[in-house]
Structure 1
Amino acid sequence: MKQCWNADPSKRPDIDTLYDEIEKMWKNSYDKNYTNESNILEYNQNFQTNSKLISSTVHSLSKRICGISLTDIFMRPPILKPVLVVSNTMA
C-alpha cells in the first residue's frame, strides 16, 4: 500500500494489482477468522463433553461414597470392643 503514495506515478501499482493485493489480504483475514472460529467451536464442544463427564463422575462417586457411609453407619452391626477380664482370685 505504501507504493500507492510513491512520488513517481510510474512506480505506483495499477488497479488490477491493488485489487489482487486487497483480495489476498481479505482472504487471509477470512481464513484466520474462520480457523479461529472453528477452533473455538471445537474447544466449546470438548469443554461441554468434558463437563458432562466430570459431572457424571462426581455424581457417581458421590452416590458411592454416600452409599458406603450410610451402609457402614446404619446397616452394619457395631463392632464389639474386646473386654479385658480381670479375675479376682484372692482367696
Structure 2
Amino acid sequence: SPAGKALEALLERYRVGSLLGRGGFGSVFAATRLSDGAPVAIKKVPRNRVRHWGELPDGTSAPLEVVLLAKVSTGFPGVVQLLEWLELPNYIMLVLERP
C-alpha cells in the first residue's frame, strides 16, 4: 500500500530506539537520523486522537499541531523543530528534533 511504503521509507531514514513517553497524545520514541547521527524523537499519534486540523501554507490539510509547529519551526529559539511528518490511515507520525 502507498501508506505502508511511505512508512517504510520514513523508517529507513531513522533508527528507532526506546519509548520515551506515552500518554493521551500517543507515544514518543527516541530515534537517530541515519544520515548524520542526529538525535530525533518520533511521535506516533492515533488519528482518532487528532481533534483539530488546520491548513499548511501549500493548502494541505494537517493536524493543528503540525500546522503550528511548521509556523514556528524556524527561527524561534526554544521551540523544538518539526523535521518531517507523515499521515497514515490510522496514525500521524511526527519527527522532531531532540535537543
- Name the structure with the higher strand share: 2
TM-score (norm 1): 0.19
Q: Identify the structure with bigger relative contact order (alpha carbons < 8 Å, sequence gap 6+).
A: 2
- Name the structure with the higher helix share: 1
Q: Rg larger in 1 or in 2? A: 1
